[in-house]
Homo-oligomer: A and B are copies of this chain.
Amino acid sequence: MTFKIGLLGYGTVGTGTAEIILDPLGRNKLLQKIEIAKVGVRSLDKPRSPELPAGVLTTDLEAIVNDPEIEIVVELLGGLEPSRSLILTAIANGKHIVTANKAVIARHGAEIYNAANDAGVYVLLEAAVGGGIPVIKPLKQSLGVNRIQTVIGIINGTTNYILTQMTEEGADFDEVLAEAQKLGYAEADPSADVDGYDAADKIAILAAIAFGGRIKRDDIPCEGIRQINATDISYADDLGFVIKLLAIAKANSDKDSLQVRVHPTLVPKDHPLANVNGVYNAILVEGDPLGRVMLFGPGAGKGATASAVVSDIATIVGILQTNSTSQKLDPLLSCSHDHFSELTPITEVETRFYARFLCQDVSGVIGHLGMSFGKHNVSLESVVQIGFQDELAEIVVVTHNVQEGNFRQALEEIKNLDAIDSIPSIIRVL
């Protein structure tokens, strides 16, 4: 007995998926039960590798999600539409879904999972976060028995590559971005990556699973890496930090609300995430009583992403093979919550800050900084005069944990001090 699947899309991940399924020797034996029945593409004219039997390729995507013989639809189109509509039609037709599409789940997850629960089908998405790293299923099946405290991820390979190159070469952002675009690590329009939107989609998904409540994607404060420069990377290094784009989801101590945010962050060099370099991704999960677990691996790329896609297909086939009649979903693999988590506004989040000031009169300024920060309950861990730029002295401040709103108010006041020329950099500290 074989199980028929239909692929929507036959680009990098689609062909990678077919390469695994069509060459099952030496892999899990279950793969031999999977038959690629239909593959939907935009045009039949392009040469395709691996080649598929005649009649498998089609431009009629609707026909795939309506094909009564297909039990699993694998959505690899990316983007919001037509992915969302095709997924919903497939679900309505009782088909299980495997997808690598973080955007459609982050934006339309509530609608999709409600439909899936009604229809009694699974929507699995291991490939949507962390490429080939097993993270979604471990969060659902293993780590979820803990009270999760934090999920912190380096989950965008492009920005991690850029920051790693900037750190190793002392180069500035634009230069490294151009190089990354030449190497194919960054898109011609790099916004989704470098402005943090991709990481925000992914942390929305991880937070929903880890904390058992849906996340309003638009409520996630998101700051990218365009403003990071060689100067701050070098000062951070002196202070014992590296700069990483982190996606953070954290239970507030009251336990009733979450903070979810994406921003560049100074990470202490002895932190496990500090050594995650290049296009690698890693997700750190802290829970009670587990402690700290980190999952590390290739966050993107054909083979890694296809590995995750096929693992989801195999998971569903394994279930179908043992349990073809039950309409009930395994609560460890399906979405069993339908409320939205309350997210803390960024102004109420507590974090440490690094800030760099350019100023004229160092001794006077330090006193004024101390006073302004003190007035707004911002206590300082260190104040260092660290260099000069042109005629101006550079002062770097690292705060203790402070409420972001208080810190911003203090900065407003400090900006207006006569001796302050400018505040070129403000970066959060882990």
The residues in A between 1 and 58 inclusive whose CB is less than 8 angstroms from any CB of B are 16, 19-20, 26-31
Specify the chain B residue showing the minimal Cβ separation from A298: B291
The answer to whether the Cβ of A137 comes within 8 Å of any Cβ in the partner chain is yes
Note all chain B residues with C-beta closer than 8 A to A27. Answer: 144-147
With A134-B134, A289-B302 known as contacts, the answer to whether A330 contacts B319 (CB < 8 A) is: yes
The answer to whether the Cβ of A310 comes within 8 Å of any Cβ in the partner chain is yes
Note all chain B residues with C-beta closer than 8 A to A288. Answer: 303
Chain A 288-308 per-residue mask, 1 if CB under 8 angstroms from chain B, else 0: 111111111110011110111
Residue in B30, B298, B332 whose CB lies within 8 Å of A314: B332
Note all chain B residues with C-beta closer than 8 A to A331. Answer: 28-30, 318, 321-322
Note all chain B residues with C-beta closer than 8 A to A133. Answer: 293
CA distance A301 to B133 in the complex (A): 25
Note all chain B residues with C-beta closer than 8 A to A231. Answer: none
CA distance A332 to B314 in the complex (A): 8
The answer to whether the Cβ of A375 comes within 8 Å of any Cβ in the partner chain is no
CA distance A273 to B275 in the complex (A): 11
The residues in A between 227 and 267 inclusive whose CB is less than 8 angstroms from any CB of B are 255
The answer to whether the Cβ of A329 comes within 8 Å of any Cβ in the partner chain is yes
Question: In the complex, how many residues of chain A place their beta carbon closer than 8 angstroms to a beta carbon of chain B?
Answer: 62
- B303–A292 CB distance below 8 A: no
- B307–A142 CB distance below 8 A: yes
Q: How distant is A86 from chain B, measured CB to nearest CB, in Å?
A: 24
Specify the chain B residue showing the minimal Cβ separation from A314: B145
The answer to whether the Cβ of A326 comes within 8 Å of any Cβ in the partner chain is yes
Residue in B147, B306, B330 whose CB lies within 8 Å of A322: B330
The answer to whether the Cβ of A190 comes within 8 Å of any Cβ in the partner chain is no
Q: How distant is A95 from chain B, measured CB to nearest CB, in Å?
A: 18
CA distance A30 to B290 in the complex (A): 18
Note all chain B residues with C-beta closer than 8 A to A403. Answer: none
- A290–B132 CB distance below 8 A: yes
- A134–B293 CB distance below 8 A: yes
The answer to whether the Cβ of A415 comes within 8 Å of any Cβ in the partner chain is no
CA distance A333 to B314 in the complex (A): 11
The answer to whether the Cβ of A341 comes within 8 Å of any Cβ in the partner chain is no
CA distance A333 to B321 in the complex (A): 12
CA distance A247 to B323 in the complex (A): 37
The answer to whether the Cβ of A143 comes within 8 Å of any Cβ in the partner chain is yes
- B333–A318 CB distance below 8 A: yes
The residues in A between 311 and 357 inclusive whose CB is less than 8 angstroms from any CB of B are 311, 314-315, 318-319, 321-323, 326, 328-333, 336
Note all chain B residues with C-beta closer than 8 A to A405. Answer: none
8 new A-B contacts, CB < 8 A, other than A28-B332, A323-B323, are: A29-B212, A133-B293, A141-B318, A143-B307, A145-B310, A290-B304, A294-B295, A296-B296
By Cβ-Cβ distance, the 6 closest A-B pairs, closest first, are A289-B303, A293-B297, A134-B142, A134-B138, A142-B311, A318-B332
25 contacts between A and B (CB under 8 A): A19-B289, A20-B145, A27-B144, A28-B145, A28-B331, A28-B332, A30-B331, A132-B290, A137-B141, A142-B308, A144-B314, A145-B310, A146-B307, A272-B275, A272-B296, A275-B275, A289-B303, A289-B307, A291-B303, A294-B296, A318-B330, A318-B332, A322-B329, A322-B330, A323-B330
